[in-house]
Amino acid sequence: MSFAELDHLCRRLEAMGHAQAMLGVDEAVNMPDGGAEKRAEAMSVLASMAHEMASAPHIADWIDKAENEDLDAAQKAAVAEFKRSYINRTCLSSDFVARQVNAALRCEQLWRQLRAKNDWKDFLPSFENIVLLAQEEAARRSEVLKLSPYDALVEQYDPGSRTTEITRVFADLKGFLKGFIPQALEAQSRRRAQHPLQAFAGPFPIEKQKALGLELMKAVGFDFHHGRLDVSHHPFCGGVPSDVRMTTRYRTDEFLSSLMGILHETGHGLYEQNLPHDLSHWPSMKARGMAMHESQSLFQEMQLSRRPEFWGFALPKAREILGLEGVTADDLLAHVHRVERGFIRVDADEATYPLHVILRFEIEQELVSGKLAAKDVPEVWDAKMREYLGLSTAGNYKDGPMQDVHWPSGAFGYFPSYTLGAMMAAQQWAAVERSIPDAAAQIAKGDFSAINAWRKENIWSKASMLSTPEIMQQATGEPLNAKYFEEHLKARYLA
């Protein structure tokens, strides 16, 4: 049976992917600088081997035959998703994949060294090479998939998403935020006049911050038998569903940026840990794209962990572990609910965050099309930061175009997922409140069991057996609707 052959291949690919994922985590967390060259070589060879294994010409025959076999619904879904993946894999040669992986790893390693030095000049040649490879990838995929070059890249992260629709949604959102952010800042100013922002007395030792993070991860449902928390230059959630590896970064002068980052990545981790365990090697049993993944991290961080009810149970733990003497819930929420125009995307509040994403979405389209040269990115970045957030990054490369790991690692087409995910998370929370009327009261008790059960039934268990629009329709009763995100922002920041 050809399906049996595909099933066996998927098991081998899962094993190969496991090895690649763990090498990637180790490279970011534990590897000494001296191991960089050989690690890049090893990972590029493995990537090439996996690509050859997954894109061999005879697999097309297996797929054709499997489509005509007597399969159950789950098997048919697996074949359909494998076929989609196979077509996308065959857009690229194994030689190109090896070349691209090697270049991306070396660029990312260089980025880690040079970002802290604000050294755009020495970073630029490596970045220019990454952009050229992204353009080549886009062209190769575009020809096969019959999509525009940029859409062909977006397809790798969010199957079915198209630039035209994303641009329309982002244009509306940008228009809304242009008026909303000044209103939110004014409302915040009024609140602070009555209740001044209280500084928290540091320093906050890293080991205590980690202890609080682990405590809250456990409370919201993270399974430490199948995952762990480490430190890296850029927070991420990696590994595999049976061994989820999360990272954060710490500052000793404050604790909230790290803690909220941990809770954000925990949302990713919960999704991975709660995907269907049986038949995990099938592509249909893996996470459904990055917008859905971001919806789960932002659901955890924004919809749950920034709620007043969340801090009803979390603040006593924070007092005990960090020694926050005299800090009230209102004191803490003033920080958690702050609106502030800032340079750094990962530290941005949920109101200004979409503008950081839209800026990158607009720039990377022009990079991929060739309309914008890599050397000119800082100038364009600065112009858009001035327009959208009233801030200048002129000469400040580390807080401008060098702040994210995505472009150095070759991830073009990823950024739209963040804001699409925020919109999806707000809509999912509205559905949770309809299904669990006392959800907020349960959060105040530190009880996430019913909420997680809803997420598992409606999101996590669906994996990639359905498309993102189908999952959203079934879970919330309607297609993606931006009104939920806008109403969420108004309720939280204008009250």
Positions marked active-site: 265
Pairing of strands 227-231, 243-248: parallel
10 Å Cβ neighbour count for 200? 16
Buried-exposed string 344-374: b where 16+ CB fall within 10 A, e elsewhere: ebbebbbbbbbbbbbbbbbbbbebbeeebeb
Residue recorded with tokens 């090479």: 129
Cα separation, 63 vs 6, in Å, equals 8
Cα separation, 214 vs 196, in Å, equals 30
Cα separation, 246 vs 226, in Å, equals 11
Measured CA distances, 422 to 39, 391, 457, 489 (Å): 35, 24, 20, 11
Cα separation, 292 vs 463, in Å, equals 10
Contact present, 287 and 275 (Cβ < 8 Å): yes
Give the chain's end-to-end CA distance (angstroms, integer): 62
Those residues whose C-beta lies under 8 Å from the C-beta of residue 76, and which sit 6 or more positions away, are: none
Those residues whose C-beta lies under 8 Å from the C-beta of residue 396, and which sit 6 or more positions away, are: 118, 343
3-state secondary structure of 464: coil
Cα separation, 287 vs 54, in Å, equals 19
Those residues whose C-beta lies under 8 Å from the C-beta of residue 298, and which sit 6 or more positions away, are: 264, 267, 350, 418, 421, 422, 425
H/E element holding 357?
helix 353-369
Cα separation, 341 vs 388, in Å, equals 9
Amino acid at 483: K
**Positive or negative torsion for Cα 253, 406, 210, 424:** positive
Contact present, 308 and 333 (Cβ < 8 Å): yes
* Side-chain-facing half-sphere of 379: CA atoms under 13 Å: 5
